[in-house]
Amino acid sequence: MNPLIPLFVVTPLVGAFLIMITGRFIKESDKYLTSFVLLFLVFISFYSLLTTGENLSVYKVGGWEPINKVPIGIYMVMDGFTSIFVCIINLIGFLSAFYSSSYIKRYTAGNYFYALFCLMIAGMNGVVLSGDLFNIFVFLEISVISSYALVAFGVEKNELEASFKYQVLGGLASFLILFGIGFIYWKTKTLNIADIKEVFNAGYDKSYYLFVQILILSGFGLKAAIIPFHAWLPDAHSSAPSPISAMLSGVLIKAVGIYVIIRLFFNMFAVSEGMAILITTLGTLSMVIGVFLAIGQWDIKRLLAYHSISQMGYVVLSVGIGMTLVSRGANQEVASLAIAGGIFHLINHAAFKGLLFLNAGAIEYTIGTRDLKEMGGLAKSMPVTSATSFIASMSISGIPPFNGFFSKLIIIIAAIMAKFYLLAALAVIVSIITLASFLKFQRYAFYSKSDVMKNPQIKEVPFPMVFSMVILSIICVLLSLLAIPDIRDAILTPAVNILTDPIKYSSIIIGQ
């Protein structure tokens, strides 16, 4: 058993508990303790990424062994796909928390903020590490309930309204997920993902099976905010404090939505062509509709929120293409390339979208508005924010040599090789519209003439905010290295292999 696995959940839970105690007696201890906890998680996350590779390690909570090859205990699983996600969650979490140490000064009750932040991290780590459906649901609720409170943290009208809408639709999603889990347990008498796979392989009612798949896809699709389940996202992401917006868009919708969809539809359900085409269609709609909803926005954070829908469309589209090819049993190399492209873009999105929300927070922190029409000329007074937002804007737009170009290129090449020519063309068109949207952002925020630029009080944001933005901008450049075959094989290929070979996933767990 891997003793590091439970630390991803236990450490932030203990951190949240200690923050609530120490925050009452030691001033500003909450921000230092949070940064320390998350920095520790970053180290063990990257250690896990570098040491896991093609291996799969299991931690059995309480030491419960399988009985007649039936896993009766709680299993936490670390594989090539999981290790990527824990790196994303904890790295973006650490940078957002460090950024918050200056940003959150405008709010009161910082210890509540940081405790909720740690709980959100613990929940997301738990979701990606859980090997059974019940604990995925439990950790999902820990993370999203924390996020409901964090969205409303400003307790202004807009924040409370956005949080209420988020809770209503989040509650509906949780109901659908729990309903689906109940139906699965009714038929299989187990909740372990690998064990469910074995039971389904032994035979199932196709109409019942399809009904359960639709419930699960709808529930986690709502959590991921893919179209048509996206209504809550623009308000929630734009109203939350900016470091929380970075977490919601850069991490949360992936960990509690996209990750679970990919994991379950590859490693639990049998891959079917009909479901693969449905997932590909949802991804395409998200990619196209999201960008058209974004381009007309003048509120920076709403613009970025709609682009989250569009960019997640790329991920779902690419993984759907790979799933379609797997279901047909043909072009397995192209299928692997498509899935790798989707995972690569998911990693890239965490970096550049997290950075863009931190940039938006820096602008709002300095001039007190998110309206592009009220900005202008900020490049001279906020050079770091300007430079890092330019890197992030070019990354999301797919301009070389930044990371977004290479992941989009892999997705487009995979679509062409799979003969999905229309989808490849749409991906190119959406990227061009994305570029137009972010050129507008750059022009109105940093380069157009405005009365704002004449205000001598406007200056660069404090060091913690600058540090997080600079590190993420460097990551946006360095992630381009994942396009190099040797590096891609070391990082992305183990994730692709565990998804495309579900027998490997289930046999190792049940055989443990």
Task: Please give the pLDDT value at position 89.
Answer: 95
- For residues 299-321, give the mean pLDDT: 93
For residue 409, give its domain range: 7-511
Task: Please give the pLDDT value at position 453.
Answer: 55
Q: Which of 64-73, 91-100, 382-391 has the lowest mean pLDDT?
A: 64-73
What percent of the chain lies above the pLDDT cut of 70?
97
Place of tokens 């998680």: 41
Asked if residue 441 has pLDDT above 70, the reply is yes
Query: DSSP readout, 140-178?
Result: HHHHHHHHHHHHTTT-SHHHHHHHHHHHHHHHHHHHHHH
Asked if residue 428 has pLDDT above 90, the reply is yes
Task: Please give the pLDDT value at position 179.
Answer: 92
Task: Please give the pLDDT value at position 456.
Answer: 62
Q: What total number of domains does the chain contain? A: 1
> Residues 6 or more apart from 312 whose CB is under 8 A from it?
224, 225, 226, 253, 254, 258, 283, 286, 290, 349
Task: Please give the pLDDT value at position 506.
Answer: 77
* Pick from 97, 108, 106, 152: nearest CA to 366: 106
Residue 276 domain flag: yes
* Pick from 150, 101, 79, 81: nearest CA to 121: 150
- For residues 285-294, give the mean pLDDT: 93
Does the reported pTM lie above 0.85? yes
Burial label for 510, CB within 10 Å (0-12, 13-18, 19+), is middle
Q: Cα angle at 85 between 189 and 135, to 5 degrees?
A: 25
Integer Cα distance of 148 and 163 in angstroms: 6
Cα-based torsion angle of the residue sequence 92, 93, 98, 100 in order, rounded to the nearest 10 degrees: 110
Task: Please give the pLDDT value at position 329.
Answer: 80
Residue 368 domain flag: yes
Integer Cα distance of 457 and 367 in angstroms: 9
Task: Please give the pLDDT value at position 155.
Answer: 65
- For residues 378-396, give the mean pLDDT: 91
Q: Which of 21-25, 341-345, 421-425, 437-441 has the lowest mean pLDDT?
A: 21-25
Task: Please give the pLDDT value at position 427.
Answer: 94
Asked if residue 410 has pLDDT above 90, the reply is yes
Asked if residue 422 has pLDDT above 80, the reply is yes
- For residues 214-231, give the mean pLDDT: 90
Mean pLDDT for all residues in the chain: 89
Integer Cα distance of 304 and 360 in angstroms: 9
Task: Please give the pLDDT value at position 187.
Answer: 85
- For residues 260-287, give the mean pLDDT: 92
Asked if residue 307 has pLDDT above 90, the reply is yes
Task: Please give the pLDDT value at position 511.
Answer: 62
Q: How far apart are the first and last CA of the chain?
A: 10
Task: Please give the pLDDT value at position 452.
Answer: 52
Residue 2 domain flag: no
Task: Please give the pLDDT value at position 140.
Answer: 94
Q: Do 397 and 408 form a contact (C-beta atoms < 8 A)?
A: no
Asked if residue 30 has pLDDT above 60, the reply is yes
| pLDDT tens, position by position, 104-140 | 877 767 788 999 999 999 999 999 999 899 999 999 9
| pLDDT tens, position by position, 153-195 | 876 788 888 888 889 999 999 999 999 999 999 888 888 888 8
- For residues 495-511, give the mean pLDDT: 80
Q: Extract the tokens encoding 156.
A: 């202004």
Residue 406 domain flag: yes
Residue 1 domain flag: no
SS3 of residue 329 by DSSP: coil
Q: Which of 35-49, 84-98, 366-380, 416-430 has the lowest mean pLDDT?
A: 366-380
Task: Please give the pLDDT value at position 95.
Answer: 95
Asked if residue 317 has pLDDT above 80, the reply is yes
Q: Extract the tokens encoding 130.
A: 């859980």
**What value does the CA radius of gyration of the chain take, rounded to a whole number of Å?**
22
Name the pLDDT band for 230 (thresholds 50, 70, 90). confident
> Residues 6 or more apart from 12 whose CB is under 8 A from it?
37, 38, 41, 118, 119, 121, 122, 125
